Chains A and B, each alone.
Chain A
Amino acid sequence: MAKVSPVVRTAIVVGVGALALAACGGGGGGSNSTSSGGTPTKGGTIQYLTQSEQFDKVDPQRVYTGEDLAFFNGTIERTLTAYKFSHDAKEGTSVVPDLATDTGRQSDGAKTWEFTLRDGVTFETGAAITCADVKYGVSRTFATDIITGGPTYAISMLDIPDDPKGGSAYKGPYVKTGQDLFDKAVTCSADGKTITFHLKRPVPDFNYTTTLLAFSPVPQAADTGEKYDDHPVASGPYKIQTYNKGKGGKMILVRNDKWSQDSDPYRHAYVDSWDVEFGIDPTVIDQRLIQGAPADQTAISTTLEPQSLPVVFNDPKFASRRTNEFDPYVRYFAINVTKVPNLKHRMAIAAALDREALRTNAGGAYAGDYADGVIKPNMGQDYAPTQMWDGLLGQTIPPTGNVDYAKQLIAESGAPVPTITFDYPNTPTNTKAAAIIVASLAKAGITAKPNPIEPGSYYGVVFDPKKAHELINAGWGPDWPNASTIIPELFTPTGGFNLSQYDDAAYNAKVDAAKIELDRAKQASEWQALNTEAMKNVVVVPTRFGRDQRLPGAKVGNAYLWPAYGSWPYGDMYVKQ
């Protein structure tokens, strides 16, 4: 369900791996804690420098990249619940109330969820935010022909029957087909203060789902459909003053004078304005932050380019502000099981790949740790070592690969390995990775063929089962700290990111059972087992638990990596005076 969009920046750094996503218990590893030093003060402007020529999406129901979710949630959009601002892995992924007075009340075995709105919450127009606005916002997700790109959890979770022709029986607020079904699934109290969601199956962590901007309010009168993306109505402490796309373009956010701190204990809104500058060359961005001219001391950007890392990390003058943390993503190669149906062949590919050379190419130690599955250790209880490289596949496979074992597996399979075509986004780093794959598979006698794809259309191509090849470069991060946003998405046919085309009836049944398991500890152990099972079947070859390095301007306060989204904590940042 989770539709993804490649982050341009990350595409260049580590391969289009980084998708779209949100939460994840972050910050596990050796981090140079940055941030603070001093009391936050109000005032100032933060410049957000970016290579993209526009935001992928601004429409709240369509935003789905982690950094953008964090940015808009911290500035212009409020949601029912939100993640606490904290650098700590556990605190930073805990849910706190935002528009709602509490973190939601569940009943009927977690199949009904109820949120009550705070008093005094308003849009930038001054109109009060009511249950109808939240409900209308949620309904937009169902208009899948217009509201594209966003998460579709509302469609999969709300108690609305499926359309026999595909999709939900409710077609969204524009055509209104099945409106009565939606009105039954989402109800408002008489005073317009309380919203109730009726779900088709128990979702014990539905209040994590409601942190997504897809659950933020939209006033029906202001909805311009597809064009709403250009200027959504603000509910947060800032509103859009200008939004000019393209090279040299800017988005300027200024204070929303209808927002009141009394109605929003969550956001601090320290800075006076946000200045997003589009279309700047990434090398220029890094140089500006490294040089630190006065005008750039209040600037931020996201991931550093690989060539900037030695400069930033070998110079002690950056020690107090650079960050180097685990990001939410796992990098892996999906093996298309319809094209490589023989398990021994898939095992041979996993055994032959030189993961150490791939990691060195991606930036060595900065690129992350070797992965043993698709669930990352910073996911907490859902993670358990799969032993993938320590015997799960029959023999120990060191990071440099086990060529003899790969050859043995091919011999045992009794059939020649098909030619492995490797799909990857055409960037210099990925081009070198392709050479490493060709060379390491060749050592085991497997023929590999690189297939570079234009980065902008990469996921469009590999999502098409007719166009995807045997081996596919990918990366995934969870939407919130529950592997229910990983395992079902990656390894079941109803998942939104099943690049492996994996469809195993027994496995699907176990996933469905785990999804509705209400005992969180038991659910965690089920995810662990399912992760291990997928690795045993070599549905993917995980390569790295990714890391992310950043350098904020010297005068930006609270510039820490927020584990909720693996992003800056936009709603918590301030300018040091």
Chain B
Amino acid sequence: MKDFPEDIIYSCEHIWVKVDGNMATIGITDYAQERLGDILSVEFIENDTYVERDETFGSIESVKEVVDLISPVSGTVVVINEDILEDVSIINRDPYDTGWLVVIEMDNLEQLEDLLAASNYHDFIAQEESE
């Protein structure tokens, strides 16, 4: 059974967001890491770079596949998880905690309203898998 913590919100691009004031900690969901399989590499745009919602903030590579990381919010990337740059397998092992990717300082909190609660994300996946 895939894990869908309820204290975070989700995007249709399989990114989770944990909000603390105007800071958004961002990672990929358990579902996403499972679909990708063993993650081999990850890269991000540079720290202090502004990223628009729905723009790429990095890429992730599993065996033979490169996938864009799509930002669910607009803002400035203020922290990058250096630990995963050292050991990328953390993302597979612990996607919701130590496997977080970046922190974005948001400038439009209203965008959070477009993201999904855990139950809605669960339904979205079920629909996507049935198509």
- Tell me, yes or no, whether A binds B: no
The chain B residues found within 8 Å of chain A, CB to CB, are none
The chain A residues found within 8 Å of chain B, CB to CB, are none
